[in-house]
Chain A
Amino acid sequence: MSAFFIVLASTLVGTVLSCVLACLPGLHVYNIMGLLVMFIYLLADYQIILPPEAYLPFMAGMIVGWSMLNTIPAVLLGAPDESAIFTVLPGQKYLMFGRGFEGTMITGVGGLAGLFILIFIIAPLAPILLPLLQSVLRPYMGAIIWVIITFILMSEWPKGGNTGPAGFAKFFDAWKSLAAGLLTFLLAGFMGFILLYRSPISTEMAFQNIMPAFVGLFAIPWCLLNILSAAEVPEQHIADSLDVDAATILRSAASGGLGGSFAAFFPVVTGGVGGLLAGHATAQRDERVFIMSQGVSKLIYYTGAFMFFFVPGLGLTRGGGAWIMKSLYTPQTSYDYLMILGAIAIAGGVSYLMMEPLTRGVIVLIRKFNYRYISLIALGIIMLLVFLVTSWVGLFIMLVGTGIGLLPVLFASRRLNCLGILLLPIACNMSGFGPTIAAWLHLV
């Protein structure tokens, strides 16, 4: 079979597989990619060597498909109850208005806009601009991460203290959520230090070191919230058209494009952080713009970070996908870059086409089965995956992460504070005082 057909076939298989997997709540594509890399190594032990044309486009398809479609469970399987309404995303409000289909399709349009930006704007400019940015910004990466941390911590808004007479009662009411946010960040940061300096995960599974903690911080609280939620999901309306115009798409593309590109380029900065910064910077209020820009940002962050790995002569490794690939392959020429771009373009188109049938499918599923049971099954699958990859110790880490991850849920603070697990230890390390703090904590 010619290289073209191998690339095409592996892209399509990777895309379709990840599109289906993306519908499972809490499952991350990097976990699956990690397992696939293990499988490729296993094959190599049996003298079965896969060509890069087989697994690189496959991985690209996996990332594109997942980043385009993982909004489906985020919107359709995340019904908030009354008490949690201030902490939920506009996508979930769409669900509660019976417009979940519209909400997911709007992010799909955002994903498509992100794909356009990536292929037609970022990809041609990346080999020219990224080396310049890299050479100028590299000495300041540590300081930039600290600046981002400062902004995350200082920009959270008090959610209480809106009524009643002036005084400390009002002040404390307002500061409950802010204090919980700070505590979450510090606890997550402390956990990050432990995992970085004295991880209980076995060395064979070191590349999945952070996975159980992430599952605990983000996925488990979400599943638990769904299971315990008192909300009933209303009948979902399948809209004939989307309530978006060209101006909305342009605003979303600008906001999400900036956030996603920022997150893809800078180390440790995730799509959520990029989205937060871009949302603030562009002063967006329209919920449609918010939802769509998340679609743009997510696609550019995940796919862009993976794509940057293949930019000729750059040597930039950002995001879990690129780090997993680094253990398997070192990009060499522009052949790799062009192959990956082709795979991304095809995967983007295919995954967008799969968005509508899969969204309809999940809507049928939640109509037939209570979404709490679906969340329960998802919880079981995630826990099983954590156990298979990291054993009992991983489950313990996950449990600790869940405790921290529930804080923002209970106190209506930002969930983004959980990213202290990455931001704090890595910022300390980049500034050179990480080992000193680890020594204070008796971790080294």
Chain B
Amino acid sequence: MKGIAHFASGVAAATFFPWTLAAAQEGNPLYFILGGAFGILPDTLDFKFYRFFYKHDIYIEPVPNETTPQDIADRIAAGVALAMDREKMVRIKLSTIRLGADYWQQYTVKFDAEKQQVMVKFGPVVNTGQVPVPGTEPEKGAVGRAALPCPLHITYDASSNVDIFDGPTFGFKKDNQNGMTFHFLPWHREWSHALTMGVFFSLLLLPFLGWRAALVIVAAYSAHVLEDQLGFMGSNLFFPFTKSRAQGVHIMRSGDSLPNFTTVWLSCLLMFWNMYRFQAAPLHAIGFFQIIFWGGILPVGFFWLVMKWLTRNSKTAGHETIDTSEWEESVSV
């Protein structure tokens, strides 16, 4: 999920504790701040700290107008072959291809588990907003293909776009089924996205901030981890007791607009409800279901229905997907 969704749910979780509201009424925003900060912290740890120190075995840094899709496919396949000889995970870093100040050459990497191969294809040039620059869409661009030396078990999306800023990391590790497990962004949602880390941080700050703050920290941090579990990638929930990410429940994708917005909005409604019921003498009489229905279900549902109707003919309506169906017809090189 997006940062703001985690942030808002962290604050919402904090408002369930009466001391959060009591302190805020007296001018102390500490618990509110802790809720938001620890709600977003797992991603902050990964994206602002850990990823810069994460070491890779292979760096694929394509040179603009020189490197071909086949070069990239070959190097990925070589990485998988390397992983066959190792017990540890082989980490491959794919760099983006920057063509100018605001231009990036997009390319897509697809793993075909059935045919046991990796395919790479260059897409359009995109700007930093990931919007294709008109006229740069390749009609039937070359597809690089390389055979993989073993069966591949895919735990995340089989296709990944590489375009702006930082490229993805792929991890390959031998599994118990005589094959290789593919891990997308192995540095993400590893130790940082564990329920146990929330407890760790709360214990760390307990002597300084007290048990009330510790409870807020656990609640906000756990909210983040559990929300992420609704997606595809999942998290390593009980690090260091568990070693790998538990599969997500595949309900939503992290970049989808509607689940993100719904989470933020629901969090705001819950905050409002908690603040409302904490009033000593409320001036207005409203109930929880009234707030949820009039403030949530009705407007969000109406918006969703109208959007559904307006985008009924759009192929990618709902969430972003990578369409690789036409690759089979493309010319191989």
Interfacial residues, chain A to chain B (CB-CB below 8 A): 82-83, 85-86, 90, 93, 131-132, 135-137, 139-140, 142-144, 146-147, 150-151, 154-155, 157-159, 161-163, 165-167, 170-171, 174-175, 178, 245-247, 250-251, 254, 277, 280-287, 290, 427, 430-433
Contacts and interface: CB of A to CB of B under 8 A. Distances in A.
Interface string B63-104: 000000000000000000000000000000001100001100
B250 interface: no
B255 A283 contact: yes
Given A140-B275, A154-B40, A163 B61 contact: yes
A137 B47 CA distance: 33
Contacts of B284: 131-132, 135
B3 A147 contact: no
Interface in B1-29: 2-5, 7-8, 11, 21, 24-25, 27-29
B260 A281 contact: yes
B27 A147 contact: no
A283 B52 contact: no
A273 to B, nearest CB: 12
A159 B128 CA distance: 11
Contacts of B61: 163
Given A86-B128, A147-B29, A246-B310, 5 more contacts: A136-B282, A146-B29, A155-B4, A166-B56, A287-B129
Given A135-B284, A277-B4, A283-B261, A147 B32 contact: yes
Contacts of B272: 136-137
B283 A280 contact: no
Contact of B279 (A136, A154, A245, A432): A136
A432 B95 CA distance: 49
Nearest to A429: B27
Interface string B273-310: 00110010011101000000000000000010011001
B53 interface: yes
Contact of B307 (A165, A247, A284, A285): A247
Contacts of B119: none
Contact of B275 (A136, A167, A175): A136
Contacts of A82: 101
Interface string B208-245: 00000000000000000000000000000000000000
Nearest to B311: A247
Contacts of A431: 27-29
B124 interface: no
Contacts of B306: 250
B116 interface: no
Contacts of A165: 55-56, 59
Per CB-CB distance, the 3 closest pairs between chain A and chain B, nearest first, are A143-B24, A146-B29, A280-B4
A108 B325 CA distance: 39
Given A286-B131, A287-B131, A166 B29 contact: no
B166 interface: yes
B36 interface: yes
A147 B53 contact: no
Nearest to B40: A154
A163 B129 CA distance: 19
Contacts, number: 152
Interface string B307-324: 100110010000000000
B7 A154 contact: yes
A166 B55 contact: yes
Contacts of B21: 140
B181 interface: no
Given A82-B101, A280-B3, A432-B27, A162 B165 contact: yes
Contacts of A147: 11, 29, 32-33, 36
B4 A163 contact: no
A151 B4 contact: yes
B200 interface: no
A285 B54 contact: no
B257 A283 contact: yes
B136 to A, nearest CB: 13
Contacts of B286: 132
13 contacts: A86-B101, A143-B24, A143-B32, A144-B32, A150-B37, A162-B95, A162-B165, A166-B55, A170-B52, A178-B48, A247-B314, A281-B5, A282-B260
B3 A155 contact: yes
A155 B41 CA distance: 10
Contacts of B314: 247
A154 B220 CA distance: 15
Nearest to B53: A166
B330 interface: no
B261 A281 contact: yes
A157 B128 CA distance: 13
B248 to A, nearest CB: 18
B196 interface: no
B15 to A, nearest CB: 9
A90 B54 CA distance: 33
B264 interface: yes
Contacts of A163: 61, 95
A85 B2 CA distance: 24
A280 B267 CA distance: 14
Contact of B33 (A132, A146, A432): A146
A285 to B, nearest CB: 6
Contacts of A167: 52-53
Contacts of B276: 136
Given A251-B307, A281-B264, A139 B40 contact: no
